[in-house]
Each structure stands twice: as C-alpha cells, then as structure tokens.
Structure 1
Amino acid sequence: MSLSFVVADIASELALFAAAGFLLFALDDLAVDIVYLVRRAWRATTVYTRYPRAFAGTLARPARPGRMAVFIPAWDEGAVIGAMLRATLERWGAADYLLYVGFYPNDPATAAALGKMHDPRVRPVQLPHAGPTTKADCLNHLYAALAADEAREGWSAKAVVLHDSEDLVHPLEIALFDTLVERAALVQLPVLPLQSRGSRWVSGHYCDEFAESHGKEMVVREAIGASIPLAGVGCAIERKALTRLAERRGGQPFAADCLTEDYELGLRLGEINEGAMFVRIPAHPGSRALVASRGHFPETLDAAVRQKARWIGGIALAGWDRLGWRGGLGERWMRMRDRRGPLAALLLVAGYGAALLWLQMALAHALGAPVVMQVSPLLAFLLKLNLALLAWRLFVRLCFVTAAYGIGEGLRSLPRTVVGNVIAILAVRRAIAHHVSGRAAQWEKTAHIFPAAEPAQ
C-alpha cells in the first residue's frame, strides 16, 4: 500500500471521528436553540400580551430594603482596585452597601491603593497568610469579616454581592438586587465583556461567547429548572441562603480548594433547593441596554489560555469529581454540556488534522502526484449535514453578538470562531496537564485593566 493511501485512510478516519462527534454536539446545541425559541415565543404570546415589560429604572422598590455586602477578592490588583472602588462608589451613590475587599500581606501595591480609600463604606480585609491562595479562600475570609461586623455592630446583610476588582458596575445594579433577592435566593445578571480595540480577536472572542451563553444558555437553564451557575461577578446571594450553605460546609460557603468556586456555588445552592433567577432586564423604557456587569477580558493568547484552562479544569475535570451527576434530567443535561470541553477539543484536533492532511493531498495532486482522495458515502453525508448545522450555529451566534455589540462585531464573530477553537484546544491541554499533575489549586490570575472611558449604560 502506497503512502498516499495510508495518508488518505488516516484523514478519512480522523474526519469520520470528528464528524460523528460534531454531529452529536450540533444536535445538542440545536436542542438548546429550540428550547430558547419556544420559550421566547411562549413569553411573547402569553406573558408580554398580559403584562408590561419590566425595566430596572421603574421596578417597584423592595418590600424590605436592606444592606448589601459586596465581596471583592484582590490579589496583585494595585493597578485597578482604586479606580474600580471609586467608580463603584460614584455609580451606586447613597445606596446601603459595604465594599469588603480582601487582600494579602505580601501584596503591598494593593494595600497601598486601599490605604488611599477613605470612604467608610470600603472595608479592607487583610488575610492572615501570604498569597496567592485561591479566590474562594479570600472570599471565605471576607465572609468571616462580614459575620464579625454583623455580630459587633448589630445588623445583618440582606445579600452578598460578588464582583472582581476590574468590574465596571451598573448604576442600577445594587437597587435591582435589593428588590430581586426577595424573590430568589440567587440572582445573576448578564456579563458583557468590554470591547478592546487592541485585541479584536483574542479579547473579542469573549464578547462572542458571553453574548450567546448569557443571552441564550443561561435563559434555557432557568427555563428547564437546572441550577444557575454563578459567573463570579454581577451576582447576589441572599444572606440566609449563604448561611445555610456555610453551615453545610463547616462555616465556609466557598470551596477553598476549587478553581471555579463561583460555578460550584451556584450548583451547590441549587442542590439545597434555593431559588435562582437569571435576569436580563433593560435599564429604562426605550433602551435596549441591559443592567449587566462589564469588564475587560484577557487580551493576549497566553492570558486567555490560562484563564480558559482554569475554567475547564474547575468545571469539566474537577467538577465531575466534586459535583457528580445529581439532579433531574435537565440538570444532568446542563452538567453534561458544561463538561464537554475536553472532548470538544479532541474533536477539533481531529477535524483540523483531517483538513490539513486533505489540503496537503490536494496540493500534491495539483502538482501532479498520484494521490487518490476518496470519501465514503457515510462521511460525505456527515460532512454535508455538519456543514448545514455549522451554518445555523454561526447564524445564531451572529444574531446574539449583533444584538449585544452591533452588526460589525456580529460579522467579526464568524472568523473569530476559529480563534476560540484554538484557544480552547490549548486551554484543554493545559488544564489536563495541571489536573494530572495533582497540583494544589492556586489563584492563577491574569493582568487586569480598568476602562479609561466608561461606556454608556
């Protein structure tokens, strides 16, 4: 058998494996699309014909206004934490809240920035040990500081709000949480990454993914009764619910040995039947701008790979062991989707590998080499079917990205899919290596920037 036949067989087997896997994933995605579209049509014909649409700016005041405790874990954030706190204080104004900022004794830059904040609503909390540990460990110390303040000063927080040190909060967010935590123990707002002109492709792919996941996926999770995973920012947990979870975990509600404590927190709250709400609500009548958490995401390939590796390692690898497959059919379906990242990366490698081999064979044939390229009827059918489903997948992403960022970014999202695939492959490789090594979880943060100019809300 000639080398060309061997190469052709390898390419065909790789393509068949990838095509079969892509078909299963595409049908899975299509099922999510169908649920989303059915839910949207049902709400349009039943809910919105009977009740007016809600807006954050005109929402009824809470029945029992309360104080919000905002947790902001910080490690090596001296460059952004001051600007973030000042912007938050300005945007939220006279609302009833406290900003608990956790920092480490071996982080003088963050400590110096916090030392310049003289507002009594900012409460720095220095951890008793050097960092970095994990974000969850920092959050647990903030929880302890909150409990100590409540006991000493004789008050109780209504809810705990989570944010990162680079977040740009929405002016209406804190008032919205004050109202909605009376209806659900967990409230998650959408996350809308800020666009970076210097990183249209790497940073921009986060815009694409969050526009679709927080425009459709989270909506579907809520619709089918699955747990709402927290994004770690722009979310509020009712104080009593957090206490109940802490009592189950030895007084520490956040999993200190977990890389994705926010994701796990949402699922743990779901397991103890705490109600959750994912809220996509415009700020004002006549405006499509949502109340959302905004911030810049990694702008370099290496930083994006490290961040995605943490997410994949915590959700797809460690999450399998830590959280198992509890819950009903909808919950298990969503957990399966959460954990398919490593298999998706393997399929992408197989698919790109087959494409490269076929490209080499096509070039060799064009140059006159005796190369035989054969595609079985089954593979040809799968390729055509997958091509049609890919076209639908790209169209769906185009719609969601356009709705969030405009038609220009919507069109860019199509070629950015390849960038996202490359980052996913590299991130899975890194996550598996870290998982197999058995290294202890540690805060592997990326450099953050705070927006120089605040976007319109």
Structure 2
Amino acid sequence: MFNSLISVVCFFIYELSVLSIIIFVLGFIDELIIDLIWFRLVMKRRGQSRAIRVSDRFDESLSGKAAVFVAAWRESRVIGPTLRHMTQQWGHDALTIYVGCYPNDPATIDAVMQVAACDPRIRLVMTDHTGPTTKADCLNRLYRALCDDERRSGVSFRMVVVHDAEDMVDRAAMGVFDRAMDTCTLVQLPVIPAALPDSRWIGSHYCEEFAEAHTKTMLVRDAIGAGIPTAGVGCAIARPMLGRLSARRGMDGPFDDDSLTEDYALGLEIAALGGRSRFLRCRTPDGRLVATRAAFPSCLDMAVRQKARWIQGISFQSWDRLGWGRTMLDMWMRMRDRRGPLAALALVLAYLTIVWNGVVLALGLVGVNWPPEATLPSPAMRAFLWLMLFGVIWRAIFRFGFTAHEYGLAEGGRALLRIPVANIIAIMAGRRALWSYLRTLRGHAPRWDKTSHRVHPDMPDARATA
C-alpha cells in the first residue's frame, strides 16, 4: 500500500516537472527571439534612439504649455522633496504641476502646500472622494482640473507628463518630451531604480529587472512597431490624444478608473487609436542617460504588494478590458505581458521538483531505491532538462550584463545572487494577485493597494527625510 502511494506521488511529481519544463522552454524560446531582435538593433544603431537631439541648454522655452500629473495618497514623506527637485530641474514658465490629494490625507496636503507656497506652478487638486480610490481615479480628477484651466484661460496644453510622488526627474527630460511631441503621441523614457545599500536583496532587485526591460525589451517593442505600455512615470502624452480617450470612454477622464495598471492600458489604447508611441533612450552631451530615477520598496511585504498589483492589472484585468489585439504582433506582446501568473506557477513547480528530487537523491545515498523505474527521466526529458539549463545560464548572462552596464560589476554580480529572491517575490505576488482578482469578481471594487515610498538616496532632501 505504501509503495503504491509513493508510486502515485512520484508519477504526479514527474508530470508536474514536465509541465514546468515545457513552460520554461517556451518562455526561453520567446525571450530568445527578443534577444535576437535586440542584437540586430545593436548592430544597426548600438541600441540607442537617435531621433531626438538632447540639448545642453536645459532652460530652453517649451513649444507649448505642459502639465505634470502627480497622484498622491499618503505620500507626506516623499512628496515635498520630489516637488522641490522637480521645480529645480524644470524651470520652464509654461509648466504647471497638478498634484492630486485626498481630503482625508492632511499630512500630504500640508507637504504639498509648503512647496506650492514657494512656486506658483504647483497646483493642489482635491479629489471628489475620500481615499484611497485608484490612481487612475485621481489622475482623472487632475485631467478635469486641467480642462477647467484651459476653459478659463482659453489656451490649450500641448502635452501631459505623468509621474509618481517619489520620482527623481531628469533635467533634460522635459526638453526631450517637447521635441518628441513634434512627431509622437506618446513618449516613454527609461526608469532607473536605485541600488539601495540598506536593501541589497529586496529593494535592489528591481535594478536588474528594469535594466533589462528598459535597455532591451522596450527598445525591441519600439523597433517592431508594437504598442508601448507606459511605466506610469517618465511618460508624456499629447494633449489631443487624452481628449480622444476621454471622449471614447464617455466618462470624466482618459484613464480607466477601475484599473490597477492604468498606465499599461493607456499605452495600448493609444496604439489602438493609431497614435505613434516611442520608447526613447537618449543621452545628454556629457553621456548621462535621460531617465526617471526612483527608489523602489525595500521590504518584502511592500515589494509583493506592488508586484501583485502589476500582475492583477496586466495579467488578469486586461484580459477582458483590452482583449488580445488585432494582429499576431499584438497577440504576441500581450501574451508576453500576461505571462506573470504562468511564470509564477512554473517557478512553484520547479522548486517543488528540486526539493522532491533532493529528497529522492538523499534517500538513494542511504540505500533506499527511489523512485520507481517508470518515473525516471526519458532521453527526451533529459534533453529538455539540458535545454532548460542552457536557458537559465543564458538568461543569467543577460541579467548580469545589463545590470553591470548600468550599475557596475559589483551590482551585476549581486543581480545573479538575487535571482532566487526575485523568484520568491514573483511567486508570492502571483498568489496575492490571483486572490485579489477573485475578490473583484465577487463584487469588491479594486482599491489603490499602494506601497510606501522613500526618497531617492541621490536627492538633496534624502538625509532630511530618511
């Protein structure tokens, strides 16, 4: 009886390992195609976008009025330093910074008012509801405030730039946005997470993920003409396109206020309407990458909550909201975007298989004959295992290379050591996203399950707010 039970368990473990290997192999082939396209781009233009000239005169006048949207819920710790840095870096008179706050968040309101008292370009906007709602709901309130200002002044804005309350903006970014709006509808700049000395394993694991995504994957999407999903920070949208999106929704703004990842949906919706989207990697004359810099969550719980929100919005909500697109290219990109839960499942199965085989090996060393002969890997299975191992090594090389290029060799080495940490966070986030999504199916409205933020360590106010 016991041997029969063990045989059944071994059979199921074997089948689950086959499933995990298939998922990994398909994922590796998918990523390999992206790698090959990226290699071709590197050979043609060294992986850099050269369509936009970056001037060393950062105080040049803008071609039209620009707005910055910042949604803030319980951001009293970071919003002050962020706004001060933003106004110092972007001294343009044609700029208005709209900051959305909730009436039941007096600490954030007070922090915004302190900075607004020193710079009239900052406009505090109160939401219609107590918080939290969703970030998209807050952004829609800012959009309505912008429309009110346009009606009063009789002058329309040219573009809207979206940022988060903890972002450290680049001095050259506004000029890049202004020039790009001559030919583009949406522009996304790279995001560079901070390598946090006090959170080498949790907060810093975002470094390698964004380094690869914003050095390779997004450049490939830009090159092949796929829709560019915005990161929700460091992106600019042409004002007329926001008007079209708002009219299309027939509601009070262009953002999907029930979505947890309105930034992702916004980029794909703009592409569906025929807007030209670009992901731009530009450097200043002194060689600095024009990008948004930010410090990401430094504790496990916050990192899991943030990634769960991303998975829920991109992998679950967008299925019925955005569909699969009209072309094979759209379908391919959306399948890539929504593979988070499948990847988490594959990781769980892989780790279970590793643990089980470790037990089997240990028992074999003491003379216990496990598993039964029928569950031993076949030649085909062993070939797939070797392919899977090659895929893991290939991906590790890329992870090291992109991270080392952006942060140095030491951080590149730590990126390899953080792979198990990133996998565990992905598994925990996938589980949380699934349960949260099931709650919405039972009628629970999505809420802004936001994370607490910290000031970027390079920001002048960092020590004062630490």
Fold match (TM-score > 0.5):
yes
2:75 to 52, 77, 80: 77
Where does residue 376 of structure 1 map in the other structure?
378
Cα distance in structure 2, aligned partners of 1:398 and 1:24? 22
1:39-54 residue pairs with structure 2 within 5 A? 39-43=41-45
Q: Deviations over 1:62-93 (max 9, x none)?
A: 99711210000000011111111111111112
Cα distance in structure 2, aligned partners of 1:83 and 1:59? 24
Q: Is the Cα contact below 8 Å between 1:61 and 1:179 reproduced in 2?
A: no
Where does residue 445 of structure 1 map in the other structure?
450
Where does residue 459 of structure 2 map in the other structure?
454
Q: Is the Cα contact below 8 Å between 1:95 and 1:174 reproduced in 2?
A: no
Instruction: State the number of aligned residues.
Output: 449
Q: Does 1:415 find its partner at 2:424?
A: no
> What is the TM-score of this pair, normalised by structure 2?
0.92
Where does residue 90 of structure 2 map in the other structure?
92
Q: Is the Cα contact below 8 Å between 2:202 and 2:300 reproduced in 1?
A: yes
Cα distance in structure 2, aligned partners of 1:372 and 1:6? 11
Q: Which amino acid aligns with 1:133?
A: T
Cα distance in structure 2, aligned partners of 1:3 and 1:362? 19
Q: Is the Cα contact below 8 Å between 2:62 and 2:175 reproduced in 1?
A: no
Where does residue 236 of structure 1 map in the other structure?
236
Q: Is the Cα contact below 8 Å between 2:300 and 2:425 reproduced in 1?
A: yes
> Following TM superposition, by how much is the alpha carbon of 1:168 offset from its aligned partner in structure 2, in angstroms?
0.3
1:280-291 residue pairs with structure 2 within 5 A? 280-285=281-286, 287=287, 289-291=288-290
Q: Which amino acid aligns with 1:91?
A: Q
> Following TM superposition, by how much is the alpha carbon of 1:269 offset from its aligned partner in structure 2, in angstroms?
0.5
Report the aligned-residue RMSD.
Answer: 2.1
Where does residue 313 of structure 2 map in the other structure?
314
> Following TM superposition, by how much is the alpha carbon of 1:203 offset from its aligned partner in structure 2, in angstroms?
1.2
Where does residue 171 of structure 1 map in the other structure?
171
Q: Deviations over 1:99-136 (max 9, x none)?
A: 10000100010111122121110000011221110000
Where does residue 299 of structure 1 map in the other structure?
298
Q: Is the Cα contact below 8 Å between 1:63 and 1:179 reproduced in 2?
A: no
Cα distance in structure 1, aligned partners of 2:50 and 2:336? 34
Where does residue 141 of structure 1 map in the other structure?
141
Q: Deviations over 1:289-329 (max 9, x none)?
A: 31001111011111111111100000000111100011322
- The 1:399–1:59 alpha-carbon spacing in structure 2 relative to 1, beyond 3 Å, is farther
Gaps of 5+ in 2: 461-466
Q: Is the Cα contact below 8 Å between 1:74 and 1:164 reproduced in 2?
A: yes
Q: Which amino acid aligns with 1:280?
A: R
Cα distance in structure 1, aligned partners of 2:456 and 2:368? 56
1:19-38 residue pairs with structure 2 within 5 A? 19-38=21-40
Q: Which amino acid aligns with 1:304?
A: A
Q: Is the Cα contact below 8 Å between 1:106 and 1:131 reproduced in 2?
A: yes
Q: What's the secondary structure of 1:368's corresponding residue?
A: coil
Where does residue 400 of structure 1 map in the other structure?
402
Cα distance in structure 1, aligned partners of 2:358 and 2:410? 31
Q: Does 1:349 find its partner at 2:354?
A: no
Q: Which amino acid aligns with 2:164?
A: D
Q: Does 1:263 find its partner at 2:264?
A: yes
> Following TM superposition, by how much is the alpha carbon of 1:368 offset from its aligned partner in structure 2, in angstroms?
3.1
Q: Deviations over 1:327-372 (max 9, x none)?
A: 3222211001001111111111111111100001111222333334
Q: Does 1:367 find its partner at 2:370?
A: no
Cα distance in structure 1, aligned partners of 2:93 and 2:276? 25
Cα distance in structure 2, aligned partners of 1:307 and 1:206? 11
Q: Deviations over 1:186-237 (max 9, x none)?
A: 0000011111111111111111110011111111111111100010000000
Identity over aligned pairs, percent: 45
Where does residue 192 of structure 1 map in the other structure?
192
Q: Deviations over 1:375-421 (max 9, x none)?
A: 22121111001111211111111111111111111111112121111
Q: Does 1:127 find its partner at 2:105?
A: no
Which sits farther off after the overlay, 260-269 or 246-255?
246-255
Q: Is the Cα contact below 8 Å between 1:95 and 1:175 reproduced in 2?
A: no
Cα distance in structure 2, aligned partners of 1:89 and 1:5? 67
- The 1:363–1:95 alpha-carbon spacing in structure 2 relative to 1, beyond 3 Å, is farther
- The 1:5–1:329 alpha-carbon spacing in structure 2 relative to 1, beyond 3 Å, is same
Cα distance in structure 2, aligned partners of 1:229 and 1:54? 20
- The 1:88–1:63 alpha-carbon spacing in structure 2 relative to 1, beyond 3 Å, is closer
Q: Is the Cα contact below 8 Å between 2:17 and 2:350 reproduced in 1?
A: yes
Cα distance in structure 1, aligned partners of 2:316 and 2:449? 17
Q: Is the Cα contact below 8 Å between 1:186 and 1:238 reproduced in 2?
A: yes
Where does residue 463 of structure 2 map in the other structure?
none
> Following TM superposition, by how much is the alpha carbon of 1:94 offset from its aligned partner in structure 2, in angstroms?
3.7
> Following TM superposition, by how much is the alpha carbon of 1:5 offset from its aligned partner in structure 2, in angstroms?
4.0
Q: Is the Cα contact below 8 Å between 2:101 and 2:109 reproduced in 1?
A: yes
> What is the TM-score of this pair, normalised by structure 1?
0.94
Cα distance in structure 2, aligned partners of 1:415 and 1:143? 43
Q: What's the secondary structure of 1:57's corresponding residue?
A: coil
Q: Which amino acid aligns with 1:210?
A: F
Q: Deviations over 1:155-180 (max 9, x none)?
A: 21110000001000001111111111
Gaps of 5+ in 1: none
Which sits farther off after the overlay, 121-130 or 10-19?
10-19
Cα distance in structure 2, aligned partners of 1:20 and 1:59? 53
Q: Which amino acid aligns with 2:342?
A: L
Cα distance in structure 2, aligned partners of 1:452 and 1:356? 39
Which sits farther off after the overlay, 99-108 or 196-205?
196-205
> Following TM superposition, by how much is the alpha carbon of 1:43 offset from its aligned partner in structure 2, in angstroms?
2.9
Q: What's the secondary structure of 2:68's corresponding residue?
A: strand
Where does residue 246 of structure 2 map in the other structure?
246
Cα distance in structure 2, aligned partners of 1:94 and 1:145? 20
